[in-house]
Amino acid sequence: MSKILILAEHDGDTLNPGTAKAVSCAQAITAHGGGDVDILVLGDGIDGVAAQASALQGVNAVLATNAPHLAAPLAANHGPELAAAADGYSHVLAPSSTYGKDVLPHAAALMGVNALSDIMAVDGERAFKRPVYAGNAIVDVSVPEGAVIAGTTRSASWSAAGEGGSGAVQDRAAACEAAAHTRYVGLEGAGGDRPDLQTAPVVVSGGRALGSAENFDLIYGLADKLGAAVGASRAAVDAGYVPNDMQVGQTGKIISPELYLAFGISGAIQHLTGIKDAGTIVAVNKDADAPIFEVADIGLVGDLFTVIPEFEQQLS
């Protein structure tokens, strides 16, 4: 029997879809011997988020902890709070987003347990699969009896749990004091009205070949036509064409859209790690030997500066 606690991710108003995906992973664990799945929401003024969490199918209870020092997603405050709330649970999970990766290992260390990153499959209550070496190997890991299992769930590997649940929302008082040594200053979000890169069904990405921030408008234009989110390779981010939150890959976002279109991206292993779970990969590159063609479902050798305008024309 498992008793699973999931750390919810949210922006104060809306539950991040990574949470619903972590619930699916938790259900794959309880499928092996039963158990309960609870969600912990940390923040300040998070009743709306708690309600969204309780509506997820398969959730037993939502523990809502409101406190001013939990408003910002600081690991210095959220880590100890998660560790305190985890008492009595067999498993503690968080989505493997930058937030989950920041907080979960912190909590695990306070609990004196090791952690598993990026759980992609469940083979038993204590047996999992996770990627290593940028996804070039998938390893079976099992955690011996006697230790709480702490881990992050690889969002691209799990579908979101459905809605229609009715978990009970319980107020849980904060157990830890504010950490004075860490202060939140602010977030500079790229924002925008485009679909979210991590959940959009269609993603259009550009690489170094775009050559400038201005030329990247070509990618935005096509994305808008397709109602798609926009991604980029590390080279495009490093060169300053686009902000960091658009990077796809081993050290950026791991995504699983139904359709991924890559323009002027060579297909380095670190980039491919981020797109392996896409339904269909389309690659346009002027080099016929570009490694991206080894994984593309549909490839076109051509110059993106002519292909994109033609593409838009053909669409309308």
Partner 1 sequence: MKILVGIKRAVDYNVRVRVKSDGSGVETDGVKMSVNPFDEIALEEALRLKEAGKADEVIVVSIGPGDVQQQLRTGLAMGADRAIQVEAGDTLQPLTVAQVFKALAEREGAGIVFLGKQAIDDDSNQVGQMTAALWGRPQATFASKVSLNGETATVTREVDAGLETIEIDLPAVITSDLRLNEPRFVKLPDIMKAKRKPLDVIALDELGGVVGVAPEAGHHAPPEPRGRGIMVDDTAALVAELKNRGLV
Ligand X SMILES: Cc1cc2nc3c(=O)[nH]c(=O)nc-3n(C[C@H](O)[C@H](O)[C@H](O)COP(=O)(O)OP(=O)(O)OC[C@H]3O[C@@H](n4cnc5c(N)ncnc54)[C@H](O)[C@@H]3O)c2cc1C
Helices (H), 227-303: 234-238, 269-272
In whole angstroms, how close is the CB of 277 to ligand X at the nearest point? 15
Which SS3 state, helix, strand or coil, does residue 143 take? coil
170 vs 182 by CB, closer to partner 1: 182
- The β-bridge relationship of strands 121-124 and 127-132 is antiparallel
Nearer to partner 1, 172 or 253 (CB): 253
Supply the minimum distance, in Å, between the C-beta of residue 25 and partner 1: 16
Of the pair 142, 306, the CB lying nearest ligand X is at 306
> Smaller CB distance to ligand X: residue 223 or 236?
236
286 contact, one of ligand X, partner 1, none, CB 5-8 Å limit per kind: ligand X
- Taking the complex as a whole, the smallest distance from the CB of residue 81 to ligand X amounts, in Å, to 30
Least distance CB 164 / partner 1 (angstroms):
27
The entry of partner 1, ligand X, none near residue 43 (CB within 5 to 8 angstroms by kind) is none
Gap between the Cα atoms of 140 and 148, Å rounded: 18
User: 132 vs 175, which CB is nearer to ligand X?
Assistant: 132
The whole-angstrom separation of Cα 244 and Cα 231 is 10
Note the Cα 154 to chain centre separation in Å: 7
Q: What is the largest CA-CA distance in the chain?
A: 62
Between 175 and 269, CB nearer to ligand X: 269
1 binds, among ligand X, partner 1, none (CB under 5 to 8 A by kind): none
- Binding residues (CB under 6 A) for ligand X: these are 207-209, 233-236, 247-252, 264-266, 268, 270-271, 274, 284-287, 290, 303-305
Q: Considering CB distances under 5 to 8 angstroms, the limit depending on partner class, which of ligand X, partner 1, none binds residue 32?
A: none
Smallest separation, CB 136 to partner 1 (Å): 4
Q: Are 68 and 44 in contact (CB under 8 A)?
A: yes
Q: By Cβ distance, which residue is nearest to ligand X?
A: 249
| Helices 98-111, 75-85: inter-axial angle, 10-degree rounding | 50
Q: Which helix (H) or strand (E) holds 261?
A: strand 259-263
| Cα–Cα distance, 124 to 131 (Å, whole number) | 17
Residue 253 DSSP one-character state: B
Quote the distance between the C-alpha of residue 21 and its chain's center: 9
Residues in a beta bridge with 38: 5, 61
* Whether the Cβ atoms of residue 54 and residue 60 lie closer than 8 Å to each other: no
**Least spacing, CB of residue 239 vs ligand X, in Å:** 9
Q: To which H or E segment does residue 7 belong?
A: strand 2-7
Contact partner, 271, from partner 1, ligand X, none, Cβ < 5-8 Å per class = ligand X
Judged by beta carbon, residue 106 or residue 167, the one nearer partner 1 is 106
167 binds, among partner 1, ligand X, none (CB under 5 to 8 A by kind): none
- In terms of Cβ atoms closer than 10 Å to its own Cβ (0-12, 13-18, 19+), residue 114 is middle
- Choose from partner 1, ligand X, none: what does 285 bind? Cβ within 5-8 Å by kind: ligand X
Which does residue 305 touch among partner 1, ligand X, none (CB within 5 to 8 A, set by kind)? ligand X
Which amino acid belongs to residue 118? D
Report in angstroms how near the CB of residue 252 gets to ligand X at its nearest: 4
Does residue 122 contact residue 32 with C-beta atoms inside 8 Å? yes
Which secondary structure element, helix H or strand E, spans residue 299, and what is its range?
strand 298-301
Residue number, 27 or 247, with CB nearest to ligand X: 247
State the nearest-atom distance from the C-beta of 102 to partner 1, in Å. 5
